[in-house]
Amino acid sequence: MAKGRKLVFPWCTSPDEKSSDTVIFGVASERGSRAPRKGSSGGPEAARATSVKFDSVRRGKSSSLMYSRLGSGPLNCYDAGNIQKTRVEEFVRKQVLNKRVVGCIGGDHSITYEILRGIDSCVDSWSFVYIDAHPDCVGSAGRYYGSVVHDVLALKNVEPGSSLIIGARAIENEEMAEVEKAGIKFVGMDKIIDEGIVAVSKYARSMVTDNVYVSIDLDSVDPAFAPGVSTPVPGGLAAREILYIASTIGKSVNLGFDVMELNPKYDSRGMTAHLASLIMMNMAGAARKRKQPGP
């Protein structure tokens, strides 16, 4: 546990920010949410608390961490704690300029836009993989959790033709029209069922640019596996599928990743919070060897 922090992800073993490859942070905000289910601001602390409980084992005076197969070995991550949403853009810019991967736990999905603003300010060309039950491409109402992709498309350096939306199944007409107009690749649940998660992951990695960011809304997962979300939609990914995606698409990540919309008020015995932590750990483990952008 990082010195001076009361609660951090136990797999974040770097002693400080400067010596880390990946900086993890939380944003305990749901100001951009319009969901009837309130409580996503409690996501960061719920994920950390559950990770401390289930991802580490204490025996006497020593402790042991449990890593996934693809994320095995010590992860050079630093948990910077929670920061204010208004500081996210500046914070992310600093990390990327210093060639660190960023990983965020939320909080509502509108936080992702602030992260990508920071990336766009210092990376010339980049693409994204957006894994969500919703395309979040509402253009008739902006700057909230349902307009993230629409808002991101206005950024200067994003490459929509090399970006993907995966797992969407609750889609408004205006959203699909904008996705098609922008040229974003769309992988719905039917394609995942038809072709399998392995083929979809390979396809995603073949489409993205050299500079990649991955955003995961936990409602992309079927509520049978992840009940603790703000806008659950039946028919989603299984827990093992989202973990596989994190461990495979994560190998393409050199900018950052996030896991959003964890809502502990609707969780069941911490199962969604634990899944969120495992996704974060798998992504960090997969991304740790990627070359950073810039000179």
Structure token pair of residue 226 = 């992840």
Domain spans of the chain? Answer: 23-56+66-287
pLDDT for 64 equals: 75
- Whether the per-residue pLDDT at 27 is higher than 90: the answer is yes
Please state the pTM of the whole predicted model.
0.94
- In the chain, what percentage of residues exceed pLDDT 70? 93
- Whether the per-residue pLDDT at 272 is higher than 70: the answer is yes
What CA–CA distances, in Å, run from 78 to 134, 177, 196, 253, 261?
31, 40, 34, 17, 22
pLDDT for 1 equals: 42
The lowest-confidence range among 26-30, 139-143, 164-168 is 139-143
The mean pLDDT value for 167-176 works out to 96
Q: Which CATH class is domain 23-56+66-287?
A: alpha beta
Contacts of 20 (CB under 8 A, 6+ apart): 14, 76, 77, 78, 100
pLDDT for 6 equals: 74
The mean pLDDT value for 26-53 works out to 97
Q: CB of 88 within 8 A of CB of 264?
A: no
pLDDT for 122 equals: 97
pLDDT in tens, 88-124: 999 999 999 999 999 999 999 999 999 999 999 999 9
pLDDT in tens, 186-244: 999 999 999 999 999 999 999 999 999 999 999 999 999 999 999 999 999 999 999 99
What CA–CA distances, in Å, run from 232 to 173, 211, 266, 271?
20, 30, 10, 15
Angle between helices 43-54 and 271-287 in degrees, nearest 10:
80
- pLDDT tier at 65, thresholds 50, 70, 90: confident
